[in-house]
Amino acid sequence: MSEQSATIESLGLRRPEAGGGLIIDGKLISQSVLAETAAGAAELLLKHRVRPGLAVVLVGEDPASQVYVRSKGKAAESCGFHSEQHTLPATTSQADVLALVEKLNADPAIHGILVQLPLPAHIDATKVIETISPAKDVDGFHPVNAGLLAIGEPARAFVPCTPAGSMILLQRAAKALKVDLAGRDAVIVGRSNIVGKPMAQLLLAANCTVTIAHSRTRDLADVVRRADIVVAAVGRPEMIRGDWIKPGAIVIDVGINRVAGQGVDAAGKPRTRLVGDVDYAGASQRAAAITPVPGGVGPMTIALLMANTLTSANRATAR
């Protein structure tokens, strides 16, 4: 192995057999984040007898949410955390959800509280988020945390997990490619509070020139064509076409969309497959580095949730 490819691999990227840009291996990089988090949790336990505690609240029976919540519990246990899942029926009143959040706010064994979204329609998600103590808001959705990030104080905030994980992938790719992020044109497609807006703040903090494009942006293809860095977070399967990607760009695909596959499975059900917001086959031929779907940003989100929970436990212990 050449020295250069050893460096690329140690950063969690690999060269595709079929040619094209480097693949940013989110699964591998998430494992290194989880291992560091587990080591940090072990140290906190040894030095201060404090075990990081994460409480996940699920209201209703949404199957995708059930899968996510189960993975979060498993990851917490793998890091040596105390992990609680509170599953409430879809008919639970808003007052009861708020009461549970207040109880978790007051519980010293809990350092991180995550209320899985979406919530049933009769519950005001904003109200629930604003009831979580900002000090335990490991999702980073509370206005206090969004505000700290917006004023350039990410070290005092909790940064939302998906953009924080995306940023690590981008930094690894930039290092592997030996490029500096400062001064680069970054285009984010999508303006959500969970991904697009916090991602813009993080890219700005890394001295990129940032554009947030969205559903009303005119000439989206032309905007994306200017980008040295593309972050796609629109939730529309393969919307970003391969020929929109500037040769040599770094592409971070946040989308996870289930679409029809080919044929039927063993049980006779039509097969489905996961695709991102970017046309991977086309984009990977032009990008210098790109995240795959699945196995890119997805695993980073859970890993950063664990990292945020450890941060919260460390802050609570230092207070």
Q: Is 72 a catalytic residue?
A: yes
Q: Which amino acid is at 113?
A: I
**Contact assessment for residue 44 and residue 318, using Cβ atoms and an 8 Å cutoff:** no
Whichever of 195 and 275 has its CB closer to ligand GUN, that residue is 195
Element (H, E) at 213: strand 209-213
CA gap 14, 236 in Å, rounded: 27
Whichever of 139 and 238 has its CB closer to ligand GUN, that residue is 139
What's the residue count for the chain?
319
CA gap 27, 32 in Å, rounded: 9
Task: Return the residue of 116, 291, 311, 312 that touches ligand GUN, per CB under 6 A.
Answer: 116
CA gap 158, 146 in Å, rounded: 8
DSSP helix/strand/coil, 113: strand
Whichever of 23 and 115 has its CB closer to ligand GUN, that residue is 115
290 binds ligand GUN (CB under 6 A): no
115 binds ligand GUN (CB under 6 A): yes
**Using CB under 6 A, which of the segments 35-43, 115-123, 173-181, 202-210 binds ligand GUN?**
115-123
Q: Is 94 a catalytic residue?
A: no
Q: Least CB distance from residue 236 to ligand GUN, whole Å?
A: 17
114 binds ligand GUN (CB under 6 A): yes
Q: Which of 25, 116, 201, 279 is catalytic?
A: 116
CA gap 191, 96 in Å, rounded: 31
- Contacts with ligand GUN in 129-168 (CB under 6 A)? 139, 161
CA gap 98, 108 in Å, rounded: 18
Task: Establish how many alpha carbons lie within 13 A of residue 243's alpha carbon, considering only the half-sphere containing its beta carbon.
Answer: 0
According to DSSP, residue 198 is labeled H
Q: Which of 137, 139, 228, 253 is catalytic?
A: 139
**Using CB under 6 A, which of the segments 109-117, 150-158, 185-193, 260-268 binds ligand GUN?**
109-117
Task: Return the residue of 28, 88, 98, 117 that touches ligand GUN, per CB under 6 A.
Answer: 117
Catalytic residues: 72, 116, 139
Residues that bind ligand GUN (CB under 6 A): 114-117, 139, 161, 301
